[in-house]
Amino acid sequence: KPQTPEHSVDRQIELPTASSYEFIKKVSEAFEKKGGKILLGTRVENLIYTGKGAVNGLVAEAEGETVKIKAKSVVLAAGGYGANQKMRSPESKGIDYYGPMTSTGDAYNFNEQLDLKTHDLDWYKIYPHGVEVEPGIAKLTTYASKKATDMGSIYVNSKGKRIVNESEVYAKFRDAILAQPDKISYLLMDERTWKQVYQLLVLHDFTEKEIAQFFADKDHRPVFVKGSLEDVAKSANIDVKNLEATVQNYQRYAKDGVDPEFGRDKEFLHEYEGNTYYLIEQCARFATTLGGYSVDPKNLELVNKSNENVPNYFGAGEVVGGANGHDSMPSMMNTWGISSGYVAGASASQNANRRKATDPEDEKHIVSLVGTNASKSYNRKLLRSMKNLFEPEVDFEICEIKDLPLFNEDLLNDEPLLVKEIAHKIEDADGVVIAVPEYDHAVPAALKSALEWLSCAEHPFKDKPVMIVGTSLGIQGTVRAQMNLRQIMDAPGMDASVMPGNEFMLPQAPRQFDENDQLIDEGSVSFLKQCFDHFLKYIESMTPDEVAGDPLAVANN
């Protein structure tokens, strides 16, 4: 038997507990069994981009912790914006919201720079069967309300008159409610029906205590009243005489099996029994925003306002607009969420595999060396700050030299394993950043020793692009140590390709970092970004036979 009047076949997902939580829990468990990881309480703030501007991951905040996730494909399934009053259009005015309070449209903020195409942002899926539990917020009574109308209950307005064929499709009932000046109707039932309705209300999101409070509070919505026909009419401010006439007429229709007013099927025409009536309000409510982002229909990749696909970025669910037009059939948004999730997930997976196969090095791998063996080092802080700043566009790895033994030429035939490991990392890297302190106008002995290992036992620096940075306690910011290091890196056996200019020398190190080892001064951050951008271009320009650097950029700040 159809589950709603709109359905000719059963379309709705029904689970033993009649709870969406059960469905979500089962799907989540299946996802995790396949190796998926779910991060709860993690709010996306920004996207990560490659050096060429393509989406490459995201940045999120979770309980004060910044979470960065790099991904060759990203699926946006952030839901709608119904809970955000500022984003809602006039069509939703006076309509209660019953969806998740997390549907605040955050995606429209963190996607802003992509200039994504949207359409029909003023469309909403509006249902009847709402009970306002607080101003602007409703709970749904669909199952209970349908049970009531199946048992013969009628809908009346504030004038006490019927407004619709109660067994028609929900859209017609919704339109009848919206046509009322106060956008409210009332479901009138007898006691035998109320017992069935009550059970379904408790099963679907209402509590016994909550319902009792509705009946007890005569001064506020929602309207829940019981008593004689006259009593319920007066309590709900409904025209008493009209309501009495409406019920009298309906009793006759039910007895005759014919509804001359609205043509209700005789299957649902049942006379009221007894003299106790229950009256509960029914208002329009919505949870789903039907508009949203535009996508390529072939693979659900998001598109921008120039109708160009946005590489590596796919959409699924409510955040994608237009799948169900201006009025979706009941349960079809679930269907859209599941089917679009499958298509977007498959497309994202194919895209990620393609990126791995065709452009395995689309993200630069940068290895950095902490140029000291000291446990406390401001240059280590500098590299941590660089990792935070630049890891959205590169893979930035920090390597320590503090555990390397002092260079000893006698041990060349018994090279320490750690030397080999660092050498292999440098060989595999697209570029190397060295953060150098300054000891007595030169590089630290530990760094000199490490470089001797890496120029004698191994030769990973040959033609390797190198960027030098440094910070010191004084006002000159490792200027002499950097000059010393440039000479070393140019020596036979090293033969590194040190980027010319772009000298990042940070003075007065104790004042430069916050408690999270991040640079404080915006000017220093800006210049460091400029230097690192030049370094990436310098890497791109490298060929086996020549080095083509960027224009000289020198600063001592």
Alpha-carbon distance of 239 to 159, in angstroms, equals: 5
Helices 191-203 and 208-216 sit at what angle, rounded to 10 degrees? 130
Among 1.10.510.10, 3.30.70.260, 3.90.700.10, 3.30.420.40, name the CATH number for the domain at 125-287: 3.90.700.10
Q: What is the pLDDT of residue 543?
A: 52
155 and 176 in contact (C-beta within 8 Å)?
A: yes
Q: What is the DSSP letter of 325?
A: T
Nearest to 138 by CA among 192, 94, 72, 202: 94
Gyration radius of the chain's alpha carbons? 34
Alpha-carbon distance of 129 to 177, in angstroms, equals: 10
Among 3.40.1280.10, 1.10.4080.10, 3.40.50.360, 3.40.50.920, name the CATH number for the domain at 364-555: 3.40.50.360
Residues 6+ apart with CB under 8 A from 94: 183, 284
Q: What is the pLDDT of residue 547?
A: 40
Q: What is the pLDDT of residues 337-358, one digit of tens each?
A: 999 999 999 999 999 999 888 8
Residues 6+ apart with CB under 8 A from 297: none
Q: What is the pLDDT of residues 403-451, one digit of tens each?
A: 999 999 988 888 899 999 999 999 999 999 999 999 999 999 999 999 9
Residue in the structure block whose two tokens are 């989540």: 28
Domain ranges of the chain: 39-123+290-358, 125-287, 364-555
Residues 6+ apart with CB under 8 A from 163: 155, 156, 157, 176, 177, 179, 180, 185
Q: What is the DSSP letter of 68?
A: E
Of the chain, the percentage scoring pLDDT greater than 90 comes to 72
Strand partners, 277: 190, 227
**The pairing of beta strand 118-119 with beta strand 292-293:** antiparallel
Residues 6+ apart with CB under 8 A from 527: 504, 555, 557
Q: What is the pLDDT of residues 17-70, one digit of tens each?
A: 767 788 889 999 999 999 999 999 999 999 988 877 899 999 999 988 888 898
**The pairing of beta strand 465-471 with beta strand 431-435:** parallel
The HSE-up count of residue 295 (CA atoms within 13 Å, CB side) is 27
395 and 57 in contact (C-beta within 8 Å)?
A: no
Please confirm whether the linkage preceding 260 is cis (ω < 30° from 0): no
Residues recorded for the chain: 557
Query: Could you write out the DSSP letters of every residue in 419-438?
Result: HHHHHHHHHH-SEEEEE---
What confidence category does residue 557 fall into, taking pLDDT thresholds of 50, 70 and 90? very low
Whether pTM > 0.75 for this model: the answer is no
Alpha-carbon distance of 463 to 496, in angstroms, equals: 5
Fold of 39-123+290-358: FAD/NAD(P)-binding domain (3.50.50)
Alpha-carbon distance of 16 to 24, in angstroms, equals: 13
